[in-house]
Chain A
Amino acid sequence: MSHTVDVEGDLVTRVEGHGSIVVNVAEGDVETCEWHVVESPRYFESMLVGRSFREAHHVTSRICAICSVSHTIASLQATEAAMGVAVSEQDRRLRKLALYGETLQSHVLHLGYLALPDLVGEKSVLPLADTHPDELETVIDLHRLGNELTEVVTGRSVHAQRLLAGGFSQLPEESKLEELLDRLLNSWDAVAELADLLAVLADELPDFERETEYISLTHPEEYAFAEGSIYSSDVGEIPVSDYRDVANEYVVDHSTAKFARHERDSYMVGALARFNNNAEQLAPRATEIADRFGLAAPVHNPYLNNVAQLVEVAHLLAESVRLIEALLADGLAPQSDYRVPEIDPTAGSGIGAIEVPRGVLFHEYDYDEAGKVTAANCVIPTNQNHGNIQRDMETLVPTIVDRDAEEIEHTLEMLVRAYDPCISCSTHYLDVEFVGEER
């Protein structure tokens, strides 16, 4: 039987970016198999040049509305490293809490609103209001909890205002933290419901494996999110100062977005990479969920990034509880509202490196003696995953090429979506058009 399949992906023009799949198969041979990413230039690194260290994090926050707190914190870390600014233990905890809240909401958004429709055979989340109303309410409640966690700590759920170089302009009220603690402690049933649903649907996740290099942060004392050094599953620990040697960005003809590679042709970042590198440090409740799904590091099926996100939802909940209990036990050190930490700007360079929902994020700034940015470099997780999506497709497509066009389309869409690329508004990420199909 000969097969000729042309998959010509139309661009989807959504806020977070554009992507499409192009696959050409002639007489059963795969001639073209490309993951096209056509990101419009954002110019954020150029926009930063000339900006004060007081403004940089407000600018970079706008890189992403889903991960705005993440970019803010990475930016602040870079500035603080450049100018030797210390952050108190209390403020480090609060920043972590904000990051956990944002990652929680992002994971739940992806799992509940974007990935779940794939598993129940729907094109979007909207029909789930009729078919899975209880589960959808659970998703909404958890998504909202993540947003509110961020809002209580930073003043807003998107584009935080209270986070400043050296600390916070305003602290959350302890009573609000107590309310959050109650809600977090009462959310375990919701996590269990989400796990129950995904457990029923897990068979819908394709059984595809391709070993790759997994890169994340790692920290000796905790499952790394807010701080740590780089860890590669191939070569082990790498200092953050060498991040450019890890994220070797390069250009391919079919994409305006850069791809990245390290020890192999490609590497993966995100929840599954974190799980593979740091699973032993997960909270016990998160490990229980991993065990339930049979998730044991190392996992080489990229579709299981969805399950790794669910595991991290449990971890983030547990860690948020632990952080709030610690903050309340110690009591928040009083400070005046609208405080701006005193910083004498100095010339220098600094790197910020944190784990954000979609993987490890790097910001690096050079400052002059007036505290103005002279150069900036931001390496975002989705860019680091593009090469791995491409290699996954190249491995996967020859194994499914005899399936019907719709199934190929669906399988490839699910693959891209499993990486949770930063195109979160798009519930139907790829509008793939099959042309000239002969079977």
Chain B
Amino acid sequence: MTAELAVVALGNPYRRDDGVGPALVARLRDRDLRADCLDLGDAGFDLVHVVVDYEAIVIVDAVDFGGDPGEVVVFDPTDADGTRDRRASHGTDAFELLAMAERLRETSPTVRVVGIQPVETGLGEGLSPPVADRIPGAIDALERVLGGV
């Protein structure tokens, strides 16, 4: 185990706002956090390894929850079960992997998602202006979550 707490960025920076997670975590690397910052790209089975390793995980990802462009939402992924419109915006279902990994542990880790409502997730680089503008607010939300888990 490397630390008790991990911030995990999910998303593909070559699909515009889908890359908001990695973009946000890149800004955190210089900060003195009590968490490991991990960029897992499109979530694969590496996510399972992280869930097995850490006591608490905060996922930062583009989440299409029907909010305003760039709006930030914080939630427990178990609350999102069956709510497809709160799923992450890329293909792999990170929440199913999370659920699988949690079932393999004797005690479930604390998992929170800081989701940012994307605008554009087609091929291309760079965040849309509404999403880019909300990154400072998303970082504030993330730091509040880190203080509470």
Contacts and interface: CB of A to CB of B under 8 A. Distances in A.
Interface of A: 14-15, 109, 113, 125-126, 128-130, 133, 136-137, 140, 143-144, 147, 425
13 contacts: A14-B91, A125-B100, A126-B99, A126-B100, A129-B99, A129-B103, A136-B100, A136-B104, A140-B45, A140-B52, A143-B45, A147-B49, A425-B91
B48 interface: yes
A144 B103 contact: no
Contact of B49 (A109, A129, A130, A144): A144
A136 B97 CA distance: 13
Contacts of A137: 104
Contacts of B100: 125-126, 128-129, 136
Given A140-B104, A425-B44, A126 B96 contact: yes
B49 A140 contact: yes
Interface in B9-44: 42, 44
Contacts of B46: 147
Contacts of B104: 129, 133, 136-137, 140
B78 interface: no
Question: Of B44, B52, B97, B100, which is in contact with the most chain A CB atoms at under 10 Å from its CB?
Answer: B100
Chain A at the B interface: mostly helix, strand, loop or mixed? helix
Interface of B: 42, 44-46, 48-49, 52, 91-92, 96-97, 99-101, 103-104
A425 B103 contact: no
Given A129-B101, A136-B100, A140-B52, 5 more contacts: A126-B97, A126-B99, A129-B99, A136-B104, A140-B49
B96 A140 contact: no
A126 B99 CA distance: 8
Closest A-B pairs by Cβ, 10 of them = A129-B103, A129-B100, A126-B100, A144-B49, A126-B96, A129-B104, A137-B104, A133-B104, A140-B48, A130-B103
Nearest to B101: A129
A83 to B, nearest CB: 32
A143 B46 CA distance: 10
A140 B92 CA distance: 18
A126 B48 CA distance: 11
A68 to B, nearest CB: 13
B54 to A, nearest CB: 14
Contacts of B101: 129
A109 B45 contact: yes
A133 B48 CA distance: 13
Nearest to A128: B100
Nearest to A109: B45
A14 B90 CA distance: 11
A113 B45 contact: yes
Nearest to B97: A126
A143 B45 CA distance: 9
Contacts of B92: 425
A133 B100 CA distance: 10
A137 B45 CA distance: 12
Question: Of A109, A129, A144, A147, which is in contact with the most chain B CB atoms at under 10 Å from its CB?
Answer: A129
A329 to B, nearest CB: 30
A284 B92 CA distance: 39
A109 B99 CA distance: 19
A130 B96 CA distance: 13
A144 B103 CA distance: 18
A116 B99 CA distance: 19
A130 B102 CA distance: 11
Contacts of B99: 126, 129
B99 to A, nearest CB: 7
Nearest to A139: B45
B103 A133 contact: yes
Contacts of A147: 46, 49
Contacts of A125: 100
A113 B48 CA distance: 12
A133 B92 CA distance: 22
Contacts of A129: 99-101, 103-104
A413 B73 CA distance: 40
Contacts of B48: 140
A128 B97 CA distance: 12
A382 B91 CA distance: 23
Contacts of A109: 45
Nearest to A157: B46
A390 to B, nearest CB: 28
A108 to B, nearest CB: 10
Contacts of B103: 129-130, 133
A22 to B, nearest CB: 25
